[in-house]
Amino acid sequence: MKDEVSIQWIKKAQAGDSRAFRQIVLHYAKIVNALAFRYTDDAHLAEDIAQDTFIKAHQALSRYQNDAKFSTWLLRITTNTSIDYIRKANRQKASSLNCEDRPIEIPVEGEENQLEMQDSLGKAMSYLTDVERLAITMKHHQGYSIAETAAKLKLNDNACKQTIFRAVRKLRQQLKCEVSA
């Protein structure tokens, strides 16, 4: 994690100093975009989420208290915004994040040819469904507990656990395929 921005900038931004808030944006822009991209696997969506995250952060800045790291607070907004964006996108696709009985698409050895193999490991995340990508990123990258992740994604704990396991299996399988290719 990048160093935290100076608390003085945060206090100034809370007092309405737009130059101070600009400093905060410059400091955390890449981190926020990177996390949004992890959640969405879509550069355009990640850009929209990053913009929305900072606007929401600006609106909620007065409620930030110094008892948590600013980056933790900001990345939680990023997470919530990403979930909202994906839910909205899925609603538009008549698909739901809450569908726990979604068919599992686990690539297995010997079926590599059935998959459109990607050129790099960087695209491994694209093999995951939206809910799998959200769950594994929240759990593995952001350090949410399974219970917290389940609550955010409106899943029960067991379904959330299975979603995370499935995501790990998919990622490891993809990794094996790339290494053996």
* Residues in contact with another protein by the rule CB under 8 A: 16, 18, 21-22, 25-27, 29-30, 33-34, 37, 41, 43, 46, 50-51, 54-55, 58-59, 120-125, 139-141, 145-146, 161, 164-165, 168-169, 171-172, 175
The set of residues, in sequence order, having a beta carbon less than 8 Å from that of 121 and lying 6+ positions away, is 174, 175, 178
Q: Specify the residue for token string 């350090």.
A: 143
Task: List CB contacts of 1: < 8 A, sequence separation 6 or more.
Answer: 31, 71
Instruction: Kindly tell me which of 7 and 43 has the beta carbon lying closer to another protein.
Output: 43
Nearer to another protein, 97 or 150 (CB): 150
Closest alpha carbon to 166 in 95, 90, 105: 105
Distance CA 85, CA 99 (A): 17
- Closest approach of Cβ 61 to another protein, in Å? 10
CB of 15 to another protein, least distance (A): 12
Report the residue number, 7 or 55, with the smaller CB distance to another protein. Answer: 55
What is the phi-psi region of residue 41: left when phi exceeds 0, alpha when psi lies from -120 to 50, beta otherwise?
left
Round to whole Å and give the CA distance between 112 and 2.
38
Q: Residue 153 CB, nearest distance to another protein (Å)?
A: 16
CB 116 to another protein: min, Å: 17
Nearer to another protein, 41 or 96 (CB): 41
